[in-house]
Every structure is written in structure tokens, then in C-alpha cells.
Amino acid sequence: MQSSLQIKDLQLYRQGELLLSLDEQIAGGEILTVMGPSGSGKSSLLNWLTGILSNGFTATGEVWLNDKNVSHLPTHLRHIGVLYQDALLFSHLSVAGNIAFAMPQDNKNSAEKLNKKQRREKIEQALEQVSLAGMGNRHPDNLSGGQQARVALLRTLLSAPKAILLDEPFSKLDTQLRVDTRQLVFEQIRTHKLPAIMVTHDYSDAEAANGKVIHLEL
Ligand code: ADP
Ligand code: MG
């Protein structure tokens, strides 16, 4: 089945006033870029998609994931992963602990049921893929910004999301690191055939995403 994320006829209101309208379909492996000035509603759009719209906002329209309407599901049942500009890692957990925290747990009904040892192996393999081999026992506070960003990426990917949202995820990284991290994130999105939405202020991000670009206005 081809995976896709659909925003069906969204009208997002702030204090009863229309903030934005959107109707988009994103296929697996595609990245939709959303640009717009601060306050134009970019984060609110992502919040609506994950089901955590703040008080003061209302919306009409539906979110569909893989031909299923998820608009009325709570956040954790939507399986939409988000990457933020801060890695937001738990400092009391190891790198592996941070990643494991988000992974699907043993679940009798799940086809992807993994025991503790299998989870550990999967994490180690994933760490290798992003040049963090053997770093599972380290603590996030001792990692560089770029390493933290890669741990955050793995945490999101290994949570088995059906779509990924990126809220200015590279904006705190220096130029070369930004380019490398971006390439890695996009590669993973394409490999896993995940539909993605990226919010950014950076035109080189938009160009690298190589997909449709939407400009929101104030
Ligand atoms: P962006 O991410 O594009 O900067 P946001 O989606 O964060 O924009 O915010 C859109 C607008 O809504 C901003 O002007 C923000 O100040 C305003 N806003 C944020 N939270 C609330 C709220 N709870 N009630 C009303 N307005 C809000
Ligand atoms: Mg924002």
C-alpha cells in the first residue's frame, strides 16, 4: 500500500478568525515545505496534525493517514512523528534509553513485537547507520549538537511513525552540519517512504527537500 498523508480542506482559525486554509496530499517519501513569517501559523498547523491544537484555535477539515481518517484519534494513536529544532532528549536517560522510550513496546497484538534484546540490537544498528556506533550508553548532555540531532532523528524513526513533521529541525546547526544532518534526515524519509512536512525559514532547506513549497501569509 502506498503511504500518504492528506490534509483535507483544513480551515484553521485563531480566536474565530481564519488563519490559514490548506488542502494537500503528500505521498510517501515526499516532503512538503511550508514557509512563512513568524506568526503565520506554521507550528499551529503541525499541532493540528498531531492533535494538540492550543486553546484559542479551532479548525475544520480532516487528517487522513494511509487512507484512514485519524482526525478524531488522540495524539499517540495517530503515529505522526515530529522533529523539533531542539533535540528534546531526556538527560536522565542514556542515548539508547532515549530511543527505546519511543519504540513500540511488547504488545500481544503487534506484528512488530520485539523483546528487549531485539530492541537493543535494532537501536545499535540504527546508531551505526548515523555514525553513532557504540554510543548507546552515553548520555545526551555529553554529545555535540549534531550528535543530539541524530539521536532525536533515530528516536522519531524508531517510533515507527506513519508520517513525519519537521519544525525547523536544522535551524540550530552550523552550515556544514546542517547540510549533513538534512541529507541524513531526507534520506531516511525517502528510504522509509514516509510522507513529510517541513516547516523552515531557509530556502536551501526547501530546495533540498525537492518537493512542493507552500508560502503562508500573515
Ligand atoms: P508560526 O509557527 O508560524 O510562528 P504559530 O502557529 O506559532 O506561528 O502562531 C500563530 C499565531 O498565533 C502567532 O501570532 C501566535 O502569537 C498566536 N498564538 C499562539 N498561541 C495562541 C493562543 N493560545 N491563542 C491565540 N493566539 C495564539
Ligand atoms: Mg513556529
pLDDT tens digits for 192-218? Answer: 999 999 999 999 999 999 999 999 998
Residue nearest to atom 7 of ligand 1 (CA): 43
Q: How confident is the model at residue 112 (pLDDT cuts 50, 70, 90)?
A: low
- What pLDDT score does 107 carry? 54
Whether residue 114 is contained in a domain is answered as no
What distance in Å separates the CA atoms of residue 92 and residue 88, rounded to the nearest whole number?
12
What is the percent of the chain with per-residue pLDDT over 90, rounded to a whole number?
67
Question: Could you say which ligand is closest to the alpha carbon of residue 15?
Answer: 1
What distance in Å separates the CA atoms of residue 41 and residue 216, rounded to the nearest whole number?
8
Alpha carbon separation from 62 to 11, 14, 69, 162 (Å, rounded): 10, 17, 7, 16
Three-state SS annotation for 141-170? HHCCHHHHHHHHHHHHHCCCCCEEEEECCC
Whether residue 84 is contained in a domain is answered as no
- What pLDDT score does 169 carry? 85
C-alpha of residue 42 to centroid of ligand 2, in Å: 5
Whether residue 135 is contained in a domain is answered as no
**pLDDT > 90? residue 139:** yes
- What pLDDT score does 136 carry? 95
CATH number of the domain that residue 67 is part of = 3.40.50.300
Assess whether the C-beta atom of 137 lies below 6 angstroms from ligand 1: no
Residue nearest to atom 20 of ligand 1 (CA): 54
3-state class (DSSP) for residue 3: coil
Structural domains of the chain, count: 1
Assess whether the C-beta atom of 14 lies below 6 angstroms from ligand 1: yes
Whether residue 24 is contained in a domain is answered as yes
| Residue ranges making up the domain that contains 24 | 1-71+194-218
Whether residue 163 is contained in a domain is answered as no
C-alpha of residue 64 to centroid of ligand 1, in Å: 24
pLDDT tens digits for 3-39? Answer: 899 999 999 999 999 999 999 999 999 999 999 999 9
**Identity of the highest mean pLDDT range in 92-101, 114-123, 167-176:** 92-101
- What pLDDT score does 116 carry? 82
- What pLDDT score does 115 carry? 81
Whether residue 26 is contained in a domain is answered as yes
Q: How confident is the model at residue 113 (pLDDT cuts 50, 70, 90)?
A: low
Assess whether the C-beta atom of 156 lies below 6 angstroms from ligand 1: no
Question: Which residues contact residue 196 at a Cβ distance below 8 angstroms, ignoring those fewer than 6 apart?
Answer: 26, 30, 31, 32, 163, 164, 165, 166, 189
Assess whether the C-beta atom of 40 lies below 6 angstroms from ligand 1: yes
Residue nearest to atom 25 of ligand 1 (CA): 56
Whether residue 33 is contained in a domain is answered as yes
Q: Give the other-Cβ count within 10 Å of 207's Cβ.
A: 10
pLDDT tens digits for 65-108? Answer: 998 999 999 999 999 999 988 888 998 999 999 999 888 875 55
